[in-house]
Amino acid sequence: MVAPDVMLSLRDVGISYSGEPAMAGVSFDVHRHEIFGIVGPAGGGKTSLMRAINRMDQFTPGMKVTGSISLNGREIRDWRNVYALRRRIGVVFPLPVGLPLSVYENVALSPRLRGLRNKAELDVVVERCLTRAALWDEVKDRLDSLGSRLSGGQQQRLTIARALSQEPELLLLDEFSIAVDPVTTMRIEEILRGLKGELTIILVTNLVQQARRLADRTAFFLRGELVEVGDTAELFSRNCTDERTQRYLDGRFG
């Protein structure tokens, strides 16, 4: 039985590509309304794990996922409608992916697909999501402009607004700051702190200090192995249970 405060539960998850193992034996829980950080060197399986949680493996040739992943106590493989599952799980990728649509339509697309047609109601959703992504004041006078014409940092925040328009319960962020400047990164971090009260966030980052600033708990992955997971403050206070974790957090490898 899943504890009431557990939103996402992984048990003995393994991932392989064309038979070659990329991850094995991964088990952990993500609690409601927490920011759960995932850190580790490249090739550790972090992005593969995000794909597995959102069931992107079925669109990735050769990718196979084993074990159990459950959302709110329900195994994600039991969802016959994968798109209904994905409406509950928003994803923000490392590089901004602006749809070839206006700023307005980038955010309105998901509500339209859910059946929302009333223009006044769509206006409210678009403004709310852009405001939550700290972008409304910068784009409110050019909502009809192509989203792809925004700056890199603005496009990344537009991607967050689009993810929020799905009204997800869980938000996955995979290296969101890799293509944006430090000022924008700090703005997005502030957004995430505010969103924690409304949803649950999994943050994959190659910046250990970002995990230290944002994450309530942090997991360290190395070569497809979950080495350690624990309270972020404890890990950064040198209370790691595995020397490899401490070496990575100290910048001695990775």
Mean pLDDT computed over 189-217: 93
**What are 89-128's pLDDT values in tens digits?**
998 887 666 678 999 999 999 999 888 889 999 999 999 9
Bridge partner list, 156? none
- Say what the pLDDT of residue 4 is: 66
Q: What domains can you pick out in the chain, each with its CATH number?
A: 6-249 (3.40.50.300)
Residue 231 has pLDDT above 80, yes or no: yes
- Say what the pLDDT of residue 37 is: 97
How far, in Å, CA of 9 to CA of 6, rounded? 7
Mean pLDDT computed over 9-28: 95
Q: Which residue has the tokens 């993810």?
A: 163
Closest CA to 104 of 166, 162, 153, 152: 162
Task: Quickly state the pLDDT bin for 178 (edges 50, 70, 90).
Answer: confident
- Say what the pLDDT of residue 200 is: 96
Inter-residue long-range contacts of 191-194, CB under 8 Å, 24+ positions, other chains counted? 191/132, 191/133, 191/134, 191/157, 191/160, 192/35, 193/35, 194/132
How far, in Å, CA of 24 to CA of 27, rounded? 9
Q: Kindly give, in sequence order, each residue whose CB lies less than 8 Å from that of residue 3, ignoring residues fewer than 6 positions away.
A: 29
- Say what the pLDDT of residue 78 is: 93
- Say what the pLDDT of residue 42 is: 86
What do you get for the CA distance between the two ends of the chain, in Å? 37
Residue 18 is encoded by which pair of tokens? Answer: 């064309």
- Say what the pLDDT of residue 3 is: 62
Closest CA to 227 of 245, 203, 251, 206: 245
The b/e string for 88-101 (b: 16+ C-beta within 10 A; e otherwise) is bbbbbbbebbbeee
Residue 2 has pLDDT above 60, yes or no: no
Length reported for the chain: 254
Residue 1 has pLDDT above 60, yes or no: no
Residue 75 has pLDDT above 90, yes or no: yes
- Mean pLDDT (the chain) is 90
Residue 156 has pLDDT above 80, yes or no: yes
